[in-house]
Amino acid sequence: MAPPRLLVLGHAAHDLVYRVPAIPARPVKVVATSMTECGGGMAANAAVAIARLGGRVTYWGRVADDALGARILGDLAAEGVDVAQARRVPGCRSPVSSILVDDHGDRLICSFTDPSLDPDPGWMPIDRVRDYDAVLADVRWPAGSERLLRAARDAGRPALLDADVAPAATIARLVDCATHVLFSEPGLQAACPATPAPEALRRCVRAHHRIVGVTLGAEGFLWIEDGAVRREAAPRVAAVDTLAAGDVWHGAFALALAEGHDTVAAARFANRAAALKCLRPGGRSGAPTRAELDAWQG
Amino acid sequence: MAPPRLLVLGHAAHDLVYRVPAIPARPVKVVATSMTECGGGMAANAAVAIARLGGRVTYWGRVADDALGARILGDLAAEGVDVAQARRVPGCRSPVSSILVDDHGDRLICSFTDPSLDPDPGWMPIDRVRDYDAVLADVRWPAGSERLLRAARDAGRPALLDADVAPAATIARLVDCATHVLFSEPGLQAACPATPAPEALRRCVRAHHRIVGVTLGAEGFLWIEDGAVRREAAPRVAAVDTLAAGDVWHGAFALALAEGHDTVAAARFANRAAALKCLRPGGRSGAPTRAELDAWQG
């Protein structure tokens, strides 16, 4: 059986990752013990995870027509991600993030996306959505995500939203387009402030949703499906680097759904892939291959 | 009268400066509203401040023999800083910092200096120290600072130490070399934990010290001179960007001493220069010229 085909849309960036003893809680100076540069961005990281786990994956999104943009797409291509349809926008700067990772594996991410990156998604070859078994989009390019998620849903394909922190109106619009809404904890808090997770998820459910859930890091995945609250616990690991773990989760979950698994099995697969990533430093470069994940005893 | 000549040694870096609504107190994701790249580093910023305030200034220090190193030195040269004697080290990476600045002007700085940057200060043309009216060194390259501060002191020149956070043994060694010790608040706390500032300063005083002081941001400068505790208040300003304000203070203070002013007058001059810088965004690019400072009513 041929591997499923997935389409991932959204944030691709170049990351500067600083290792620090502790992430400061106040605005001070901190001296990094090391620094590495690598590809990053939520959608791009998820695409790399899918490729490593054996899926065929295409990236749609925008970078600038600059040296950094070439590097961002080159890093994705080197991982086996099809970037032939990604857009290079002239006259602006490519997305860049600076990230602090501490010795507990926690990470502080500061991302910049040039506001002059043309938001118009009209260039996307949207009819090709039927070529894919599932699509995954994030919140960093709302116009693009909205167009893709709507088209995928209309075509009867799973339309997964990585619902991270964004303005409330943006989240609300994208939630309305997706079939599978996958909040981060901060994303869910932003969408439904001061509300316990199960109740917050309930408020976000629309009739066309297959599932609405939230990734809880070490606590696994909590979701509502057919009106019932479910939870799949994550393997317990001593994390050394949680950077990109959520993105790996989303990629693995999308791949498992596209392979035909049910939500429980997909959540278990994604929890394991993200946990194994957390055992390895280097952000998305720690994303596991399928063989590594199958062999892992965790 | 010819302007005085100053020699500044230490940290020169390339800064990525992200503007954020608030600096997070926890390890989360934050989306920057803008990002600018510019020259940075404590010593380099102080050198730029001196040049803008009318001093003749030479920079000694190390960058890598890479594109970023060329840019760092080029940015300094464009400000009128003499970088002809700076060292380019092959086979390593130039210093880089990522900085978050929030809407209150507070800043979080994360700096990386490649440990493979050769620490040997043997290349420095140390006999030329007699050509300068004062020297200023920071804590980022201890071997270089120690050699320069000792030589300046032996030559009867003011040997100023920007005593920011560093390992206790490093600080202790450098404090022993300088004639003027200028702590930051975090630097003084690191050197003498849990001790009120006047008592902490007292403990650091050595017989050869002219002054030992601490910059207190909006609270001005507190120092010990001839056994007495003194304080010079700073102008009250609504800061929009404190990035590089401490470095501007050190540069201005060193210049004023080299011009022959006493400590009170030098502290007043430095307090004013740093306060004016805080009114302007863009890190060291907001450092004032002499004409701007003279004209400022603050």
pLDDT for the residue numbered B17: 96
**Cβ-contact A180, A257 below 8 angstroms:** yes
- Looking at residue A56, its pLDDT comes to 98
Q: Specify the pTM.
A: 0.89
User: Nearest Cβ partner of A31 from B23, B35, B111?
Assistant: B111
Mean pLDDT in residue range A4-31: 95
pLDDT, tens digit, 9 for 90 and up, residues A94-142: 999 999 999 888 899 999 999 999 999 999 999 999 999 999 999 999 9
Name which of A32, A112, A113 is nearest B112 (Cβ-Cβ).
A32
Residue B169: burial class (beta carbons within 10 Å; 0-12, 13-18, 19+): exposed
What pLDDT score does A135 carry? 98
CA count, 13 A, side-chain hemisphere, B242: 19
Region at A255 (left for phi over 0; alpha for psi -120 to 50; beta for the rest)? alpha
Tell me, yes or no, if B18 comes closer than 8 A to chain A by beta carbon.
Answer: yes
- A147-176: per-residue pLDDT in tens? 999 999 999 999 999 999 999 999 999 999
Nearest alpha-carbon partner for A77 in A53, A54, A51: A51
DSSP B135-147: EEE-SSSHHHHHH
% residues pLDDT > 70 (chain A): 100
A39 three-state secondary structure: strand
Please state the domain extents for chain B. Answer: 5-24+33-114+133-289
Q: Is the distance from CB of A61 to CB of B73 less than 8 angstroms? A: no
DSSP 8-state assignment for residue B285: G
Determine contact, residues B158/B177, Cβ cutoff 8 Å. no
- Report the distance separating Cα B65 and Cα B126, nearest Å: 22
- Does B290 score more than 90 pLDDT? yes
**Dist. CA A197–CA A194, nearest whole Å:** 9
Which amino acid does the sequence have at B29? Answer: K
Burial of B296 (0-12, 13-18, 19+ CB in 10 A): middle
Cα A127–Cα A132–Cα A134 angle in degrees, nearest 5: 115
A287 pLDDT more than 80: yes
CA–CA separation, A93 and A91 (whole Å): 7
Question: What top-level class would CATH report for the domain B5-24+33-114+133-289?
Answer: alpha beta
The ipTM assigned to this model is 0.88
- Give DSSP secondary structure letters for B116-185: TS----TTS-GGGGGG-SEEEE-SSSHHHHHHHHHHHHHTT--EEEEE-S--HHHHHHHHHH-SEEEEEH
Pairing of strands B13-19, B34-40: antiparallel
Task: Return d(Cα B257, Cα B50) in angstroms, integer.
Answer: 12
Predicted local distance difference test score (pLDDT) of residue B106:
87
Query: For chain A, how are helix, strand and coil distributed in percent, rounded to 5?
Result: 35, 25, 40
Residues of B within 8 A of A34 (CB-CB) are 112
Q: Do the Cβ atoms of B217 and B248 come closer than 8 Å?
A: no
Structure confidence by residue, pLDDT tens digits, A226-280: 999 999 999 999 999 999 999 999 999 999 999 999 999 999 999 999 999 999 9
A222, A216 Cβ separation under 8 angstroms? yes
Which residue from B34, B106, B110 is facing A100, i.e. has the nearest CB?
Answer: B110
The yes-or-no verdict on residue A211 having pLDDT over 80 is yes
Which whole number is the average pLDDT over B270-279?
98
Report the C-alpha gap between A154 and B205 in whole angstroms. 75
Judging by beta carbons within 10 Å of its beta carbon (0-12, 13-18, 19+), is residue A39 exposed, middle or buried?
Answer: buried
What pLDDT sits at residue A105? 83
Would an 8 Å CB–CB cutoff place A102 in contact with chain B? yes
In 3D space, the residue among B246, B241, B243 whose CA is nearest the CA of residue B214 turns out to be B246
Query: Residue B47 gets which letter from DSSP?
Result: H
pLDDT of residue B105: 83
What is d(CA A192, CA A172) in angstroms, rounded to the nearest whole number? 10
> For B189-225, what is each residue's pLDDT tens digit?
999 999 999 999 999 999 999 999 999 999 999 999 9
Tens of pLDDT along B156-196?
Answer: 999 999 999 999 999 999 999 999 999 999 999 999 999 99
Q: Do B27 and A186 touch (CB under 8 A)?
A: no
Distance from CA of A26 to the nearest CA of B (A): 6
Q: Are A50 and A251 in contact (CB under 8 A)?
A: yes
**Cα dist from A82 to A7, A17, A75, A77, A269, whole Å:** 9, 25, 11, 6, 23
pLDDT over 80 (residue B69): yes
pLDDT band at B1 (very low <50, low <70, confident <90, very high): confident
**Predicted confidence band of residue A37 (pLDDT cuts 50, 70, 90):** very high
Residues on chain A touching B165 (C-beta within 8 angstroms): 28-29, 31
- Residues paired with A16 in a beta bridge: A37, A98
Closest among A115, A113, A117 to A88, alpha carbons compared: A117
Of A171, A159, A144, the closest CA to residue A10 belongs to A144
What's the pLDDT tens digit per position in A54-90?
999 999 999 999 999 999 999 999 999 999 999 999 9
pLDDT for the residue numbered A194 = 94
Query: Above 80 in pLDDT, residue B25?
Result: yes
Report d(CA B177, CA B148) in Å as an integer. Answer: 9
Using a 10 angstrom Cβ sphere, with 0-12 exposed, 13-18 middle and 19 or more buried, the burial of residue A28 is middle
Nearest CA in chain A to B27: A108
Q: How far is B286 from chain A (nearest CA, A)?
A: 20
- Mean of pLDDT over chain B: 96
Structure tokens at A254: 């999308």
Supply the DSSP symbol for A53: T
Pairing between β-strand B180-184 and β-strand A107-112 as defined by DSSP bridges? unpaired
Distance in angstroms (rounded) separating the CA atoms of residues A298 and A238? 11
Q: Rounded to an integer, what is the distance from CA B213 to the centroid of its chain?
A: 14
What element of type H or E holds A220?
none
Dist CA B171 CA B179 (whole Å): 14
Local structure of A168: helix, strand or coil: helix
Question: What pLDDT score does A170 carry?
Answer: 96
Chain B CB contacts of A164 under 8 Å are: 29
| Any A CB within 8 A of B68 CB | no
Residues in chain A, total: 298
Answer whether B110 sits within 8 Å of A98, measured CB to CB. Answer: yes
C-beta of residue A19 within 8 angstroms of C-beta of residue A105: no
Q: Tens of pLDDT along B56-67?
A: 999 999 999 999
Q: Which two tokens stand for residue A4?
A: 């499923």
pLDDT (mean) for B261-270: 98
